Structure 1
Amino acid sequence: MIDSHFARPSRAGFSRKTPIAAAIGLASALIGAGAQAQEATELDTLVVQGDWLGNPTEEEVRVYPGARTVIEPEQLHDSGALNIEDAMRSVPGVQVLDETGTGILPNIGLRGLNPLRSERLQMLVDGYPIAIGPYSNIGVSLFPVTLQSIDTIDVVRGGAAVHYGPNNVGGVVNFLTKPIPGDIEQTLSERVTIAEDTGHVFHDTYYRVGGFVTDDLALQFQANAQGGEGFREHSETDVQNFQVDAEYFIDDRHTLDASMQYYEVDAELPGALSPEAFEKDRTDSQRPHDAFEADMLRGTLAWTFRPNDDVEFTWRNFAHRADRTFFFGQDLVSGGHWADPAATSSHVADSPRLFRVWGTEPRLTVRQGIHTVILGARYVNEDVDFDVNRENLSDGSRNRVRRWDLETDAVALYASDTLSLMDGRLEITPGVRYEDVRMDFEDVLNDTTSTNDTDEILPGLTVGFAATDDVFLFANAQKSLVPVQIAQATREGDVANETAWNYELGARVDVTPALTTSVTLFRIDFEDQIQFDKAGDRFVNLGETRHEGIELEADWLATDRLSLGLGYTYLATEQLTGDNAGNDLPNAPRHHVSANARYEVNQWQANLSVNHFSDGFSDAENTKDETANGSAGELPDFTLVNARIGRDFRLSADTTLNVGLAATNLLDDDAFFRGADVSPVGRVPMPGRAYMLEGRLEF
Structure 2
Amino acid sequence: MKNKCILVSKLRYTQCALAVLIAVGTLTYAHAENNNSKAAVLETIQLQAQGNWLDDVTAKKVFEHAGARTIIDRKRLDETASVTIKDALKQVPGVQVQDNAGTAGSDLSLSFGVRGLTSRFSPRSTVLMDGVPLAFAPYGQPQLSLAPTSLGNIESIDVIRGAGSVRFGPQNVGGIINFNTRSIPKQFQGNIAMTTEIARNGNVKLSPNLFLGTTLDNGLGLALLYSGTQGNGYRDSNDHNNINDVIFKTAYAFTDQDQIEFNLHRYDGKADMPGGLTTQEYKADSNQSTRPYDYFEGHRTDGALKYTHKDDANTFELLAYHTDTYRNAVMEKINDTDKNKKQLRNAPRTYQVTAFEPRYSHAYVLGNTANEISIGYRYLNEDSKEYIGRSAWYKNGTTPLSVDGYSAAAGKTIAHAVYLDNRIDLGAWSITPGVRFESIKTRENYYKLNANNSIKNEVSTHVKSNEVLPNLSVLYKVNDQWNVFANYGISFGPQQYSQMAKIDDTSKLAVSQTDGLNPEKAKNYEIGTHYLGDALTAEFTVFYIDFDQELLRYNLGGTEGWTNLGATKHMGFEFGARYDFGQLNDALTGLSTYTNLTYTHATAAAGIRKGKDLSFSSRWVANIGLGYKYEQWSINTDVFAQSKQVAPNKDDLVVEDSAAMYGSIPGYATMAVRVGYDLSRYLNGFKVAAGIKNMFDKNYFTRSSDANGGKFQGQPRTIFLQTSFDF
TM-score (norm 2): 0.85
**% identical aligned pairs:** 29
How far off its partner does 1:252 sit? 2.1
User: 1:130 matched to which residue of 2?
Assistant: 134
Question: What is the alpha-carbon distance in structure 1 between the residues aligned to residue 594 and residue 484 of structure 2?
Answer: 21
Distance 1:518 1:304 in 2: 32
Q: Structure 1's 178 and 652: CA in aligned 2 closer, same or farther, altered over 3 A?
A: farther
**Shift in alpha-carbon separation, 1:243–1:622, aligned structure 2, 3 A:** same
In the superposition, relative to structure 1, how do residues 145 and 417 fare at CA in structure 2: closer, same or farther (>3 Å)? same
1:521-600 matched pairs, under 5 angstroms: 521-532=542-553, 539-559=562-582, 560-600=589-629
Amino acid corresponding to residue 144 of structure 2 in structure 1: V
Among candidates 456, 459, 465, match of residue 448 of structure 1: 459
Matches of 1:596 and 1:531 in 2, distance apart?
38
2:252 is aligned to 248
**Which of 582-591 and 101-110 deviates more?**
101-110
Shift of 1:179: 0.8
Aligned to 1:262, what secondary structure does the other structure show? strand
Q: Is the 8 A contact 1:169 1:500 kept in 2?
A: yes
Matching residue's letter, 2:354: W
Match of 1:215 in 2: 218
Q: Distance in 1 between matches of 2:682 and 2:437?
A: 56
Q: How does 1:275-290 map to 2 (within 5 A)?
A: 275-290=279-294
Q: 2:158 aligns with which of 150, 154, 157?
A: 154
Deviations 1:504-529 (A, max 9, x none): 0001235x642232211000000232
Residues 584 and 622 in structure 1, CA contact (< 8 A), matched pair in contact too: no
1:25-73 CA distance string (max 9 Å, x none)? xxxxxxxxxxxxxxxxxxxx99323203453321111121001111121
Q: Counterparts of 1:6-85 in structure 2 under 5 Å?
A: 47-53=48-54, 55-85=56-86
Q: Tell whether the 8 Å contact from 1:329 to 1:345 is kept in structure 2 after alignment.
A: no
Give yes or no for the alignment of 1:509 onto 2:531.
Answer: yes
Distance 1:468 1:531 in 2: 46
CA distance in 1: counterparts of 2:701 and 2:552, whole angstroms: 20
**Residues 1:614 and 1:622: Cα distance change in structure 2 (over 3 Å):** farther
Q: Does 1:385 align with 2:385?
A: yes
8 A contact 2:275–2:712 mirrored in 1: yes
Aligned to 1:27: none
CA distance in 2, matches of 1:163, 1:414: 6
Q: Say which of 667, 689, 693 aligns to 2:696.
A: 667
SS of the aligned residue for 1:523 comes to strand
1:687 pairs with 2:709: no
Q: How well do the aligned residues superpose, as a CA RMSD in angstroms?
A: 2.1
Letter in 2 for 1:638: Y
What SS is found at the alignment partner of 1:85? helix
Matched, 1:697 2:718: no
User: Are 2:122 and 1:118 aligned?
Assistant: yes
- State the match for 1:498 in structure 2: 520
Question: Deviation at 1:574?
Answer: 1.8
Q: TM-score, with normalisation over the residues of structure 1?
A: 0.88
Are the structure 2 counterparts of residues 290 and 464 from structure 1 closer, same or farther at C-alpha, using a change threshold of 3 Å? Answer: same
3-state secondary structure, aligned to 1:447: strand
Shift of 1:623: 2.8
The question of whether the paired residues in 1 share the 8 Å contact of 2:625 and 2:637 is answered with yes
User: Comparing 438-447 with 95-104, which one deviates more in the overlay?
Assistant: 95-104
Assess, with a 3 A threshold, how the Cα gap between structure 1 residues 459 and 275 changes in structure 2: closer, same or farther: same
Q: Is the 8 A contact 1:520 1:550 kept in 2?
A: yes
Alignment match of 2:488 (pick from 477, 484, 501) = 477
Alignment partner, residue 31 of structure 2:
none
Rg larger in structure: 2
Distance of 1:417 and 1:46 partners within structure 2:
14
Residues 416, 431 of structure 1: 8 Å contact kept: yes
Residue by residue over 1:333-355, the C-alpha shift from the partner in whole angstroms, topping out at 9 and shown as x without a partner, is: 526xxxxxxx5661111100011
Does the 8 Å contact 2:647/2:654 carry over to 1?
no
- Structure 2: gaps of 5 or more residues: 1-45, 395-399, 449-456, 505-512, 583-588
Q: How far apart are the structure 2 equivalents of 1:409 and 1:189? A: 42
The range that moved more, 485-494 or 574-583, is 485-494
Instruction: Provide the C-alpha distance between the structure 2 equivalents of 1:271 and 1:56, rounded to a whole number of angstroms.
Output: 39
Q: Which moved more, 1:644-653 or 1:96-105?
A: 96-105
Following the alignment from structure 2 to structure 1, what is the Cα–Cα distance between the partners of residues 563 and 711? Answer: 22
Q: Which amino acid aligns with 2:711?
A: R
Q: CA deviation at 1:238?
A: 0.4
Q: CA 1:488–1:585 in 2, change beyond 3 Å: closer, same or farther?
A: same
Offset from partner CA, 1:3-24 (integer Å, 9 cap, x none): xxxxxxxxxxxxxxxxxxxxxx
For the 8 Å contact 1:583–1:622, the answer to whether it is kept is: no
The answer to whether the Cα contact below 8 Å between 2:225 and 2:246 also exists between their aligned partners in 1 is: yes
- Displacement of 1:120 after TM fit? 1.4
SS of equivalent residue, structure 2 residue 724:
strand
The aligned counterpart of 1:21 is none
Give yes or no for the alignment of 1:465 onto 2:473: no
1:262 and 2:266 aligned = yes
1:235 partnered with 2:234 = no
Alignment of 1:287-306 (within 5 A): 287-306=291-310
| Partner-residue secondary structure (3-state), 2:465 | strand
> 1:677 Cα shift?
5.4
Provide the C-alpha distance between the structure 2 equivalents of 1:206 and 1:102, rounded to a whole number of angstroms. 20
Whether the 8 Å contact between 1:182 and 1:211 is mirrored in structure 2 is yes
CA distance in 1: counterparts of 2:100 and 2:594, whole angstroms: 27
CA contact (8 A) 1:495 1:528 kept: no
The answer for the alignment partner of 2:320 in structure 1 is 317
Asked whether the equivalents of residues 514 and 556 of structure 1 are also in contact (C-alpha less than 8 Å), the reply is yes
Q: Take 1:613 and 1:71, find their aligned partners in 2: how far apart are those partners? A: 20
CA offset at residue 534 of structure 1?
7.8
The alignment status of 1:406 with 2:402, answered yes or no, reads: no
How many Å separate the matches in 2 of 1:613 and 1:223? Answer: 33
Any conservation in 2 of the 1:81–1:664 contact (CA below 8 Å)?
no
Q: For each residue in 1:265-288, what CA deviation from the matched residue of structure 2 results, as whole angstroms up to 9, or x when unmatched?
A: 011110111122122222111222
How far apart, in 1, do the equivalents of 2:517 and 2:290 lie? 33
Conserved? CA contact 1:585–1:619, under 8 Å = no
Partner of 1:648: 678
Aligned equivalents of 1:489 and 1:611: distance in 2?
A: 40
Deviation at 1:397, TM superposition (A): 5.2
- Residue identity in the other structure for 1:386: E
3-state DSSP of counterpart to 2:280: helix
Q: Secondary structure at the match of 2:276?
A: coil
Q: CA deviation at 1:489?
A: 2.1
Partner of 1:191: 195
2:229 & 2:402 partners in 1: Cα distance? Answer: 35
Task: Select 1:352's aligned residue among 348, 351, 369.
Answer: 348
Partners of 1:217 and 1:71 in 2: how far apart?
28
CA contact (8 A) 2:193 2:210 kept: yes
Moved more, 428-437 or 308-317: 308-317
Q: Secondary structure at the match of 1:382?
A: strand
- Measured in 2, the distance between the counterparts of 1:82 and 1:251 equals 40
- Corresponding residue of 2:36: none
In the TM superposition, residue 312 of structure 1 has moved relative to its aligned partner by 1.5
2:568/2:603 contact within 8 Å kept: yes
Q: How many residue pairs align between the two structures?
A: 641
Local SS of the residue matching 1:405: strand
| Unaligned segments of structure 1, at least 5 residues | 1-44, 336-342
Question: What's the CA shift string for 1:81-101, capped at 9, x where partnerless?
Answer: 231101111211111112179
Distance in 1 (CA, whole Å) between partners of 2:575 and 2:555 is 34
For 2:280, give the aligned amino acid: E
Q: Which amino acid aligns with 2:416?
A: V
Alpha-carbon distance between aligned partners in 2 of 1:207 and 1:608, rounded to the nearest angstrom:
27
Q: What are the superposed Cα offsets for residues 186-219 of structure 1, whole Å, 9 maximum, x if unpaired?
A: 10111111101x2111111111100102331100
Deviation of 1:226 after TM superposition, in Å, equals 1.9
1:616 correspondence with 2:627: no
- AA matched with 1:689: R
Q: CA contact under 8 A between 1:329 and 1:349: conserved in structure 2?
A: yes
How much has 1:539 moved relative to structure 2? 4.6
**Counterpart contact for 1:606–1:645, Cα < 8 Å:** yes
On the 8 A contact 1:195/1:201 being kept in 2, the answer is yes
Could you say which residue in structure 2 is the equivalent of 1:331?
Answer: 334
